[in-house]
Amino acid sequence: VAKLAGVSVATVSRVINNSMTVTQDTRVKVENAVRKVNYKPHLLARGLRSRSGNLIGLVVPEVIMHAFSCFVSYTDDSLIEAGYNMILGNTHGDPDREEKFIDNLIRMNVSGIIFSRVSDKSRAFRILESTNIPIVVLDRSLQHEDVPHVVLDNYEAGRLAASHLYGLGHRSTACVTGPLEISLCRERMSGFLDYYREKGIEIAEELCFEGNFKFESGEKAAHYLIKPGSDITAVWAQSDLMAVGFMKRLQKANKRIPDDISIVGMDDIDLSAMIDPALTTIRQPFRQMCEKAVELILLEKELGRENLDHKHIVLKPELVVRDTTKSIV
């Protein structure tokens, strides 16, 4: 290609990779030629030879859910910044697709995989163990796992919600969880329950409704939990969407928020600030999680998984008080 400008292909490669073993003289010559032919190195061929491409895979269960579209956007940002390109896999919560896609990634020799697993049932790790591709688990981890990961302190999130409600005087509360096959949902619930337990209040099992993070399951939860005779004064939902569904059902039943029932959500999606009344919620630091995940995977690539000092990054949730919670003392 650009060697039609005096030198050998090797030298061109050196110029492009800023090898310092090249004269200023020839460097300029090559750079001119490059500009003239408008030459662009082929990124994939590069990866082929040097055994290290510029591709990093991101695996998420559902792009259209707010939390994950944040992951997609923010991870992409950080990767681009670091000079990588992102290849995205949407598993739709299906372990088969998950496995298939990860297989694809391996076959592309990606430099790393950032992985938000479908559920605790994910089998995909078996495949990954046989390679030495750097991997970081994002958001959905298992407690006992040794794999590097970046997660929220979900137990603390539960305690935070509980402490806010308890502080406002609520003694009779309920909890709407995500799918309990996802371990972070169990952790959140434990945090919530434990806090109340420490205060001498045992939340009955019937007051924990298992939803699926979506709007409709929030509505269902309200239907199930708020019966005539129920004395619940507050609820924590493990996603804002469920919280909003809960509110909608309540408003239909002519309950007033927060006067009759206080509600806390989780995630702090845009919607939370838009609705009326605006939702009190627990914010997850999505952007920071993605930044850390990218940092970690780059580090892992450089040092090897074994030599990683801090393989486990745990970030803190933050309480955002708006208008759906109210003191009842």
Partner DNA sequence: TTGTAAGCGTTATCAT
Partner DNA sequence: ATGATAACGCTTACAA
DSSP 307: G
User: Of these partners, DNA, its own copies, none, which one is at the site of residue 17 (CB under 5 to 8 Å by kind)?
Assistant: DNA
Which part of the chain contacts DNA (CB under 7 A), choosing from 44-52, 88-96, 139-147, 251-259?
44-52
Closest approach of DNA to the CB of residue 107, in Å: 7
**Of all helices (H) and strands (E), which one includes residue 301?**
helix 286-303
- Work out whether 16 is an interface residue with DNA (CB under 7 A): yes
HSE, CB side, 13 Å, CA atoms: give it for residue 318.
9
Residues that bind its own copies (CB under 8 A): 38, 40-45, 47-48, 53, 55, 62-64, 66, 69-70, 72-73, 76-77, 80, 85-90, 97, 101, 103-104, 106-109, 130, 215, 244-245, 248, 251, 270-271, 274-276
User: Of these partners, its own copies, DNA, none, which one is at the site of residue 10 (CB under 5 to 8 Å by kind)?
Assistant: DNA
- Work out whether 45 is an interface residue with DNA (CB under 7 A): yes
Is the CB of 130 or the CB of 307 nearer to its own copies? 130
Q: Is 305 left (phi over 0), alpha (psi -120 to 50) or beta?
A: alpha
Amino acid at 122: S
Residue 176: Cβ-neighbour burial (10 angstroms; 0-12, 13-18, 19+):
buried
- Work out whether 88 is an interface residue with DNA (CB under 7 A): no
* Contact in structure between 144 and 161 (CB atoms under 8 Å): no
- Work out whether 22 is an interface residue with DNA (CB under 7 A): yes
Beta strands per DSSP E along 226-288: 234-237, 262-264, 281-283
How far is the C-alpha of 250 from the C-alpha of 25, rounded, in Å?
76
Which part of the chain contacts DNA (CB under 7 A), choosing from 36-44, 188-196, 281-289, 295-303?
36-44
Positions touching DNA (CB under 7 A) are: 1, 6-14, 16-17, 21-23, 25-27, 39-42, 45-46, 48-51
